[in-house]
Structure 1
Amino acid sequence: MRWSWTAGTLALALAGLPIAAPVSATQEPPALPVPGSGSCVEASSVVVAAMSAPQARMAPDLVSSLTRGRGVVVAVIDTGVSDKAPALAGAVWPGGDVVGGGPARDDCLGRGTALAGIVAARPIAGTALAGMAPEATILPVRVVDAAGRLQPQALAAGIGFAVDQRASVILVGSGVAEDSPALRDAVIRATAANSLIVAAATIAGQQSVTAGQTPPVSYPAAYPLVLSVSEAGADLSGQQVDLIAPAAGAYSIGPTGDGHYRVGGPAVAAAYVAGTAALVRSYHPGLRWAQVHERLLSTAEAPAAGTTGPATLDAYAAVAALTSPRPPAAPPRGGAVTMPMPSPGDPAVRAAGIAGSVLLLGGVVLAALIVTVRSVRRRRR
């Protein structure tokens, strides 16, 4: 496995702290069934003891030393979220079912619970798997019907419900192929209420796209006011994506029991971004939604030299970076935002200076040098 040195993993190494390497379970957990498979998700009998590869890449031990997401409400707009999942005990509000009415704290299909686990699963004995923001609160919003179908009207109503419940981060697990005035208005209303929308750049029920075909546009991910996310390593041809995050090899919880499932795809990547957004909003409570949007982009790891495409989420940098960007007039679409760089002649940018500073001052100094470290690393490639 080739490690990518994010700010978090670099800080751990320079400080002499152990880096959590992803370790496979003795028995591979089952894949989470696709919504619409016709039956409710049963409890998995496989408990994964170690972190998944995507979770380890986020340097959770380092991030959690700064914040764990306390005080932030994250709406998970998908299939509902089960409050019977042990790792989400006490974390799930009743929420709302905009399709059938009533609360949404149950989840037959399981995907919403899995996404909520990526965002805010609490640590439990027997496993190192935990959410990005394990002290955040989950607001479940069901917009997908029992057959796995999603309509634009339901998605718009779900975003509106999340705004009414004062969710500061709104995670949309899948989108629709149709643009609609109601959905556009819901997004505008959410940003006016200072809610950040993180949406997976995928369409509910979408099958694989044949080579050479342009994938359909996904809404609300295609709207400029929305942070559009896909998974690292995916073919993004023709898609409007702001940020990518690792999702391959991820595990998460199911609606019942202590067991885990294999998960992946743009929705899981978006859940990692939404969890990071919750950390940023908890650690920097004065930031507006557009500033959080900008911060996630400006601190992301740029593509390797000679390549193009969206930048990759860097959770530690997003939380710890010293810059506090001003809200842009219109949030940028696609690609990292340039951060101010120290003077090339500054001795603090030398490797010895970096190591000494980190050992002396910890992650705070490192955050100020994130861009310089990455620049040096790329020149060595």
Structure 2
Amino acid sequence: MARATMETADLRIALFSGNYNYVRDGANQALNRLAEYHLRQGAQVRVYAPVVASPAFEPTGELVGIRSIPIPSRSEYRVPLLLAGKAKRDLKAFAPNIVHVSSPDPVGHQAVTWARRRGLPVLASVHTRFETYLRYYNMAWGEPVIEAMLRRFYRRCDALVAPSESMAQLLREQRMNYDISIWSRGVDREIFHPGRRDREWRRAHGIADEDVAIGFLGRLVMEKGLDVFSDTLDDLRRRGVRYKALVIGEGPAREWFEARLPGGAFVGFQQGADLGRAVSCMDVLFNPSVTETFGNVTLEAMACGLPVVAAAATGSQSLVDNCKSGRLLPPGAIHQFAEALKAYIEDPALRAAHGKAGEARASEFSWDKINQAVADTYLRLIRQKPGAKA
């Protein structure tokens, strides 16, 4: 039974993830930071996720492998299939007092069932808008079906955490659950700040001091709005507006993107201080994606003092103050995006003012405070389920 005085150090967290460390993305880095924070507070954390021979980075905490298969069209990602054998025995022996699921995959469903049979509370974190992915494969007609499947999954959980209030409100409107709180995202101000800007680095990548660099940051996959990004820059070129494209990231669509952005500076995957330097070397971030639930890249750019032009979608709406720290425009609005970028390119004072406002907003996001909010949610759910048995 949960003790009335239960604290963060008393938590035994079973965390289920479809991708904890084999491909680096914003979602799994947030999960690793969450695990690190709880371990630092004295809690116990066990992670159940697919493993590969050469992961993108070392996992935080103890990682137990789950049976999985590659996704046919996106082989770098895997689908967890079965919670059985060694993993299931390990889960029983670990005896968690809270189960956290971060992906609505088959093992996520099985973990929820396992917890419900034992009267254990389940928290689900929402990291991406899976239903929107179909738009990029000419299957938008299937969105209501995916939404219904997600609703069934999330309603079996005791509560959800979303990374922004705009995403939480969308989940409420979609009737995914009625207990939804915020697990925001933080930014490392030692890595992301305007002082990282490096003119020599820019010059080395073909960006002259007088060039205005329009930046893209993220995995190079079509779901990130690469078509909208390139179509918008085509619009600028037709208007005779001078710019330089600076692309940070890797992914299966890189060759396509390079062909669409001739003369662009593609600097590949960056991390740590190198990433902070690369982002600071942009002059404006253009984020046309509608799939993010928070927008880590938006926050990182703001911390570097950059104005942001973004789609008015869940990822950026809670971060960008329209016409004060950037522009929020309708998704896919090529001409409006081009107008906003043109204004920043031609008005250095506007760039500087909106960048400064964005940096002030980014200073509000502390990782420890944000992750403690998840711990508080764990503790609340445990208190609400007296008599849970492992």
Q: TM-score range by the shorter chain?
A: 0.3 to 0.5
Higher relative contact order (CA 8 A, sep 6+): 1
